[in-house]
Structure 1
Amino acid sequence: MSRKSSVRQFEDNITELETIVAQLESNELSLEDALKAFEKGIKLSHDCQQVLTQAEQKVQILLEKNDGERLEPFDPEAN
């Protein structure tokens, strides 16, 4: 899969995840439909995580090639 298509797929998956969350939060789905939506959301979340992991690996490689720098874990509480 090309980088553009994986980015586009990532964006589409995020949009679909947002829709699923809104449906689940509305409490208008039957239990069966809610479970199906949840299952699909888990799959979409996993797919997004894979794209993010690949992007992080690419950033790490680029940093190491340029300055030998390493990524540091992000701590939102530190700011």
Structure 2
Amino acid sequence: MARKPPSFEEALTELEQLVERMEQGNLPLEESLKLFERGIELTRTCQKSLQDAEQKVQILLEENSLPTLKPFRDEP
């Protein structure tokens, strides 16, 4: 049976823990690579969750005739 992907919060928590472990700098190379791979997977999970949430917000705004979202820009 396939494992259910983690929620956004679970993925973010695990990612933070991985970063903390890797920043200690005392892991063997092979383990560091495995953790890095897992970190990439978790990052993709978080990005997908955020994109899905943004789409839901956009749909709700459109359904209720509210102004749509505009891309965020840093002000100089």
Could you tell me which residue of structure 2 aligns to residue 74 of structure 1? 72
Shift of 1:78: 2.1
Q: What is the RMSD computed on CA atoms of the aligned residues?
A: 1.9
SS of match in other structure, 1:69: coil
Distance 2:55 2:45 in 1: 16
Distance 2:38 2:52 in 1: 22
Segments of 4+ moved more than 2 angstroms: none
Counterpart among 12, 21, 34 of residue 23 in structure 1: 21
Q: List aligned pairs for 1:53-72, cutoff 5 A.
A: 53-72=51-70
Structure with greater proportional helix content: 1
**Runs of 5+ in structure 1 lacking a partner?**
1-5
Aligned length: 72
- The Cα shift of 1:68 comes to 4.3
TM-score of the superposed pair, with normalisation by structure 1? 0.81
Structure 2: 5+ residue runs without aligned partners? none
